[in-house]
Amino acid sequence: MNFDKKRRARVQGGWASAPSSSQSKSGFKSRNHLTPNEQGNEKPKPEAQAESRPVSSKLSRQALSQAKSDKGKPPMPVGPIWMAKNIDTPSPRQTFVFQDPEEEIKMKPADQLITKPGVFDISTEPSGVSRIRFFPNFVEPSMSEAIYAELYKEIPWRQRHDIHNGIQAMQPRLTAWFSDVPYTYAGVTEPPNSAEWPPALRQLKNQLAEVTGIEFNALAANLYRDGHDSIGWHSDDEKIFGKTPTIASLSFGDERVFELRKKPPPDESGERDYTYSQVIRIPLHSGALLIMEGCTQSDWQHRVPKEYHDRGPRINITFRVTVPVDNR
């Protein structure tokens, strides 16, 4: 590389053409070596003018009427819009046409996390208001430890089979049911159990009656032995609980995440596609009370998913009201 080549490589990049020739080896011309006509400085030849006449005469009529309507307005930039000083100045030739997208654009709403106490109206349709009341510290820590120990010992825990998508399998948790009426869900029937409730359950039932004004008469209990135990997506919408059941859920033991997802409308075959459903997560630690009411069972599903890190055992008890057959 001689000195001249080095200078060009430094100043213009290695592809700059030699100053002595109007065309580089690659066949590209640099702007400095264009002929005056190529640079746009020479008047167009008569044939070129003749070729462009129909277009330019059409344009000049438009330009004339534009000029009339623009009288008194600041002059429009000359040349392409990106060369104008103020690119925000609208060009009279710009028109924006909105076209409906051919396919419906679906967006999944951002997941939500509830950690603070409060009353949350999580949706208002299609059936009505779905409401969550959350009291993270309903039972104080020293009490919740003692309650956990009593429930673990006193409740007659059993592992049952249920059916999901036509497949029967052992439930990934232990359960118990306290009520005068049987409870059937997911292919399992919990028989009536009129045994006396352990004292801790009676006491909690009375406390809940004071807070909510509801006399709960049934209880479903779950024991999650570790993080691999879980309960899948479902709604507690069985007819025995009525149309808008209030369910009070208390947690003892290790923390687990409770999730809710909104039910989308069913398709023609009655299937629901949950891909774009809104999801709400509520971490439930020992002593937390979560109340689901209104249309939460009609319009939402809930679950406690498996976790893949160490979790100790957790007991969840859900107080419910079974309604007479006429109200179902």
Ligand X SMILES: O=C(O)CCC(=O)C(=O)O
Residues that bind ligand X (CB under 6 A): 220, 222, 231, 236, 249, 258, 284, 302, 304, 316, 318
HSE, side-chain direction, 13 A CA sphere, residue 321: 20
Of 200 and 248, which CB lies nearer to ligand X in the complex structure? 248
Is the Cβ of residue 155 or residue 304 nearer to ligand X in the bound state? 304
- 200 or 231: CB nearest ligand X: 231
Task: For 12-52, give the DSSP string.
Answer: H-TTPPPTT-SS-TTSPPPGGGS-TTTTT-SPPPHHHHHHH
Handedness of CA 72, 78, 82, 85 (dihedral sign): negative
8 A C-beta contact, residue 253 and residue 298: no
Cα separation of the two ends of the chain? 93
Q: Which lies closer to ligand X via its Cβ, residue 17 or residue 177?
A: 177
CB of 95 to ligand X, least distance (A): 56
Compute the least distance from the CB of residue 238 to ligand X, in Å.
10
CB of 178 to ligand X, least distance (A): 13
- The residue of the chain with the least Cβ separation from ligand X equals 316
- With residues binned 3-state (H G I as helix, E B as strand, rest as coil), the percentages for the chain, rounded to 5, are 25, 25, 50
Least distance CB 288 / ligand X (angstroms): 9
- Please name the helix (run of DSSP H) or strand (run of DSSP E) that holds residue 224, with its range, or none: strand 218-224
The neighbouring-strand residues paired with 294 are 130
Closer residue to ligand X in complex, CB, 17/190: 190
**Tokens of residue 269, six digits:** 């075959």
Minimum distance from CB of 253 to ligand X (Å)?
Answer: 11
